Structure 1
């Protein structure tokens, strides 16, 4: 099943702003649930639901009444602007993103406790993160658009 990622909107029948119950009705029970604190200085909790068979994760934030606030996919069956980006080299992905002219790309290197590093290319204008491992795109993560002035999400209609 090929599905198109919709920036600021969601994915297929998943729309940012949905409740956990609505996501459960759409996808069924997740393979795994994970609770975490997204920012060290943030008091709110987040909950990630992982759907292993779909290679999809859905996140809900307490400060937004546990509405769907981000999606992440890692399967080539998810298309971005009609293109299969998963598995492409960082150079190829960034060339495609540049052609799409969706915003300025900021690139960061992130290391974990095991000294494994990942590269993340972020495009804040469209709430998009592209995660690279071994120079290849491994995950696409996106959320609703963000209103900088109001400091809040712009929920899809």
Structure 2
């Protein structure tokens, strides 16, 4: 599998400047960082959540961080929980399982972005497969994210 067709079409439609970085197969954003020899804090990952009414939201945070549901719920003034894997697979049907691209607008999703991602000069995102990352400048990432909400809802994991 290669980059999601939806992701490529969306990036190209917006005339986003990006570079595709290939790496050995991995099954997590941390694994992708190791395989591509990129600092894990420079990879943005997506976590899919929903509330009891079925409203879905994508949380975008650094790969080396863990989501704090309580902080996210406070930021959104809601009661969100992790979506079940099967539901996530259905939302991203042209992507490999577990390779969720953190480009919410391409999938008509609401989003909240962890503020720590704004400190990076450039970053990498999953493109829908387990063999490549999309490299973006901070300016292009901000352009992709548009007017999405931001907040501090994650904390860095130490290995």
Instruction: Decide: shared fold, TM above 0.5.
Output: no
TM-score by length of 1: 0.30
Q: Which has the larger radius of gyration?
A: 1
- Identify the structure with the greater strand proportion: 1
TM-score by length of 2: 0.30
- Identify the structure with the greater helix proportion: 2
Bigger relative contact order, structure 1 or 2 (CA pairs below 8 A, ≥6 apart): 2
